Structure 1
């Protein structure tokens, strides 16, 4: 008689620093058609509950670590689609507004481990004084601490992460960024060259499991046109669904190919692989047993930081102070603005308003319902306007 159990293969948790409990329930996660076949073929169960996706697999025996009844082969791929259900999400999230044709791509092949978590987003790069950083951009230091730019930093005006007037420390978690954004392409599409050209040199690189980088040539050819053209039909139908580096006539871009996305509104794709290396890609060990502890992956969203603009209905002069002394305001004024961006959160700050020697506390904090813009110096910031009836 064979004992049959379900073992935990992996989980994916969605987190967001806007929420006081950090749990992000703004998405529904769907399984791709090909992944449904893999799930059925391996006797797996995949379910979403609140902010987590759970994957279990049929195992034989009852001694840990468990062994899948049907072996989990090297190279197994499981693809999931994240669909956004909150219309205000971009208002309180540190991301660009929606960009047609772009999706975010998360995978354990990013090998992104920090703060005792394995993140599916790309690692946030180290600060580089040759780069230009705009408010909201992220960088890390040698200790893997994440910082958010609050003023533009460029090579001519270098302010490293120690300058608190230019950078705000976040923590050691790895957050998704525009580095995780890819251009979605259908297998056959019209490619715009940008100018009339006589030919198109096409190079596509895929993931090299041995090198753990996207350096494996999967397509290389040159198309010579009978007459110079500004666009042509790009046929990538021979490629498997996934992330690729596409270079045409020297112009490189990161793309994602999957015809299941045609006509659907997908915020992001999650690809979970079982590769021999690196460690975050290993769902089973060399003996085919489930890894212990169970693979747990995280996707972490950073809250947007805005300039808070308080407008007093009485038009009297007022002062606002933060009890924690973290954030400061241009006091006194009838329209009081924060000196630096303040991260949005559904956990209220302890702010006090003083008008005519009368104190009012607590007062309303910014919320994501209303966003405008404000110019401070040479930078344009998102602005949260809060009207106070004092």
Structure 2
């Protein structure tokens, strides 16, 4: 009987601190068609596991040597999608940094550092994302505008290593100059065809400069160029890269982790005196958080905003009192309990467990802070 041996090439797990067990649910990671072809040619398997996915390769009897040995220079690409994108975007902090905020149309790009491989399952290589501006086909027309609308600008295309590449060829096949002059259209926009069909898939950056001044940069955008991915609505792209200089392909099983963190928002309660059970002229509403400190929530103070009732805000013409948390509260799959609405005199409980914000609801930005609005009718 012939035994078939498979060895793990790498494991990739995905975590999210919104979930109590830290395991992100509702996300699908899958190899691209090209990566699927590479895996089949290398007698490798893509397998989903509860924490993410693993790649296995068919090995010789020693359970180490591959039956089919691929090039040591290798990139495997995987797409990322989520079941409920609206909720995921609501609860997840996708900002690249304090100065690089996620915005609609951005794509999350993850890639490992081939020189910082971890083989420790308890301490995997943590892969953080950068935000890119979208995907493009290998042949596309780049439309853009710039401030001031000068008559001409310069356009430069560079690869992910920062090397300037030609944006196409002449009719006779001669590469175009590394810098292209682009004239303004009649509507003050600009457009230029970019031809990267003879270049590998991956990240490319387009930089728009002043026609003569290198220090004046009007615009810079980064795209993942792939004819396959340009037609897909992907949330993110993951590249796992092997380099011959590191010699990690077919070595000990590598361990990677994509880590997501939860957003936090100011909770803003709109308490609407619908049934007139409270006489706001003589009774005073307040919110008290009785929750004990935990790893997920801390006690929060809620402060009334404006008068009681609010002088300028009413809901459907009814008296409204507004309360706002003094500090942001993180999203978490287990609701925050024991936030009580009370009235004085008498310290009477009107609502023993105030509702939490809907995790797929609207999150507003107010003066640089994220706010979740919650409406309570009494």
Q: TM-score, normalised by structure 2?
A: 0.71
> 2: CA distance between counterparts of 1:47 and 1:196?
53
Quote the offset at 1:355 in angstroms.
1.5
Quote the offset at 1:224 in angstroms.
5.0
What is the correspondence of 1:122-141 to structure 2 with a 5 Å cutoff?
122=129
What is the correspondence of 1:173-252 to structure 2 with a 5 Å cutoff?
179-192=130-143, 194=145, 195=149, 197-198=151-152, 200-206=154-160, 214-219=161-166, 221-223=178-180, 229=185, 230-249=190-209, 250=217, 251-252=219-220
Deviates more, 1:9-18 or 1:247-256: 247-256
> 2: CA distance between counterparts of 1:110 and 1:385?
44
Quote the offset at 1:99 in angstroms.
2.4
SS at match of 1:68: coil
> 2: CA distance between counterparts of 1:326 and 1:311?
20
Which residue is equivalent to 2:373? 385
What is the correspondence of 1:206-355 to structure 2 with a 5 Å cutoff?
206=160, 214-219=161-166, 221-223=178-180, 229=185, 230-249=190-209, 250=217, 251-276=219-244, 283-284=248-249, 289-291=250-252, 294-314=253-273, 317-321=285-289, 322-324=291-293, 325-330=298-303, 334-353=321-340, 355=342
Quote the offset at 1:55 in angstroms.
0.9
Which residue is equivalent to 2:359? 368
Task: Provide the aligned C-alpha RMSD in A.
Answer: 3.2
Picking from 106, 109, 114, the partner of 1:105 is 109
Picking from 127, 131, 146, the partner of 1:120 is 127
Cα distance change of structure 1 residues 262 and 185 upon mapping to structure 2, 3 Å threshold? closer
Structure number with greater Rg is 2
Cα distance change of structure 1 residues 111 and 346 upon mapping to structure 2, 3 Å threshold? farther
- C-alpha distance after superposition, 1:46-100 (max 9, x if no partner): 022444112111011245xx22222242211111111232132111112367623
Check conservation: 1:92, 1:368, Cα contact below 8 A. Answer: yes
Stretches of structure 1 that go unaligned for 5 or more consecutive residues are: 123-178, 207-213
> 2: CA distance between counterparts of 1:355 and 1:259?
59
> 2: CA distance between counterparts of 1:16 and 1:355?
35
SS at match of 2:55: strand
SS at match of 2:232: coil
Quote the offset at 1:269 in angstroms.
0.9
Quote the offset at 1:380 in angstroms.
4.1
Tell me how many residue pairs correspond in the alignment: 311
> 1: CA distance between counterparts of 2:199 and 2:158?
10
Cα distance change of structure 1 residues 72 and 311 upon mapping to structure 2, 3 Å threshold? same
> 2: CA distance between counterparts of 1:112 and 1:317?
56
SS at match of 1:262: helix
Check conservation: 1:310, 1:386, Cα contact below 8 A. Answer: yes
Cα distance change of structure 1 residues 4 and 60 upon mapping to structure 2, 3 Å threshold? farther
Check conservation: 1:92, 1:304, Cα contact below 8 A. Answer: yes
- C-alpha distance after superposition, 1:177-205 (max 9, x if no partner): xx333432221222235335446442413
> 2: CA distance between counterparts of 1:51 and 1:2?
31
Stretches of structure 2 that go unaligned for 5 or more consecutive residues are: 95-100, 167-176, 210-216, 279-283, 309-320
Check conservation: 1:45, 1:56, Cα contact below 8 A. Answer: yes
Quote the offset at 1:108 in angstroms.
0.8
Quote the offset at 1:339 in angstroms.
0.7
> 2: CA distance between counterparts of 1:2 and 1:15?
38
SS at match of 2:228: helix
Quote the offset at 1:323 in angstroms.
2.4
> 2: CA distance between counterparts of 1:236 and 1:196?
27
- Please state if 1:73 is matched with 2:84: no
SS at match of 1:40: helix
Cα distance change of structure 1 residues 52 and 372 upon mapping to structure 2, 3 Å threshold? closer
Check conservation: 1:39, 1:45, Cα contact below 8 A. Answer: yes
Cα distance change of structure 1 residues 255 and 354 upon mapping to structure 2, 3 Å threshold? closer
> 2: CA distance between counterparts of 1:2 and 1:198?
69
Cα distance change of structure 1 residues 353 and 233 upon mapping to structure 2, 3 Å threshold? same
